[in-house]
Amino acid sequence: MSIAQAGVTTEGLTGPEPAPPVRRRSKAGYLLLLPGMLWLVVFFLVPTIQLMATSLYDPNGSLETGYTMTGSISNYWTALSTFQAPFLRSLLYAGIATLLALLLAYPLAYAIAFKAGRWKNAMLVLVIAPFFTSFLVRTLAWKSILSDNGFIVSTLKDLHVLPPDGRLLATSVAVITGLTYNFVPFMVLPLYASLEKIDLRLVEASKDLYADGFTSFRKVTLPLSMPGLVAGTLLTFIPAAGDYINAELLGTPQQYMIGNVIDNLFLVQLDYPIAASCSVILMLAIVAMVLVYVRRAGTEELL
């Protein structure tokens, strides 16, 4: 007769179960993170701290006499009061360019994800093809396209959309057009990545529940693509707000953005404290707007 048949338990005969072996955490993961962390510290954290310190220098200093750390917060007030218009213009241009990029990119990303078929890879290559050319060259091309004697302006004049002495170059329209064109790929790719992951059976199920095409898009496709939409708008708005090439080449001083002001203060006027103050204000404003936007969009996991 076995012990089990005799009704005798084995507890106490075999002793307590051995504790599972303690697994030591490998340090390989930390070693893999080390190069990236060092890169961020050296080329991001240290320059940011230096920039913030520069924004607190004595505004009366110069390269010849040197700058002293006086903790002058008045630099920020000077930057805001003097360059309020470029700050607001930068946010306005970036916002309009982001909206236009979204209106252009969403149908394109949707078509690539759901309708392109075997042409999907070719269309993705065409989306990223502009990156094979310099940002500066692409912007200069728009300067030629929007020139006063170009095809677009001539056609608009013939259609009486523009007056005989009207122009597009050196206007806000040209700057926003350049921003939209240059940053549209940053909107398309995240949107495509989100749309491509959507299970089409969910869309079919919504139609089985008597939802029309628009309702199905509003209730199923759009909410599931929100992570890509939020990521795309951030990737477009943030660099567009700090851009200065488009305003420099396609606009006039009347269309200059805060990036142009910072460039002038650093490299021409050599007014480092005010230039650094403008840079810090721009960074803080963008971070605040991003935090509010991500929370309102309900995609905090992106951060």
pLDDT, tens only, 8-21: 455 555 556 666 66
Res 253 pLDDT > 80: yes
Q: From CA 254, how far away is CA 93, in angstroms rounded? A: 13
| HEC letters along 53-79 | HHCCECCCCECCCECCECCCCHHHHHH
Amino acid 223 reads P
More confident residue, 48 or 6: 48
pTM for this prediction: 0.85
Place of tokens 């929007």: 146
pLDDT band of 260, cuts 50, 70, 90: very high
Q: What is the pLDDT of residue 20?
A: 63
For 126, phi then psi, to 5°, come to -65, -35
More confident residue, 210 or 228: 228
pLDDT over 50 (residue 96):
yes
User: What is the three-class DSSP state of 21?
Assistant: coil
Predicted confidence (pLDDT) per residue in 261-293, tens digit: 999 999 999 999 999 999 999 999 999 998 888
Q: pLDDT band at residue 3, thresholds of 50, 70 and 90?
A: very low
As a whole number, mean pLDDT of residues 88-101 equals: 96
Question: What mean pLDDT is predicted for residues 85-110?
Answer: 96
pLDDT for 267: 92
Q: How confident is the model at residue 225 (pLDDT cuts 50, 70, 90)?
A: very high
Q: Residue 141: pLDDT above 90?
A: yes
204 pLDDT band, cuts 50/70/90, is confident
Which residue in this structure is represented by tokens 């939802």?
A: 211
More confidently predicted of 206 and 257: 257
Residue 150 has pLDDT above 90, yes or no: no
Q: Pseudo-torsion of CA 224, 226, 227, 228, nearest 10°?
A: 100
Burial 140-155 (b: 16+ CB within 10 A, else e): eebbebbbeeeeebee
Please give the structure tokens belonging to residue 290: 């991003």
The correct CATH number of 74-302 out of 3.40.50.300, 3.40.605.10, 1.10.3720.10, 2.40.110.20 is 1.10.3720.10
Condensed to tens digits (0 to 9), the pLDDT of residues 32-45 reads 889 999 999 999 99
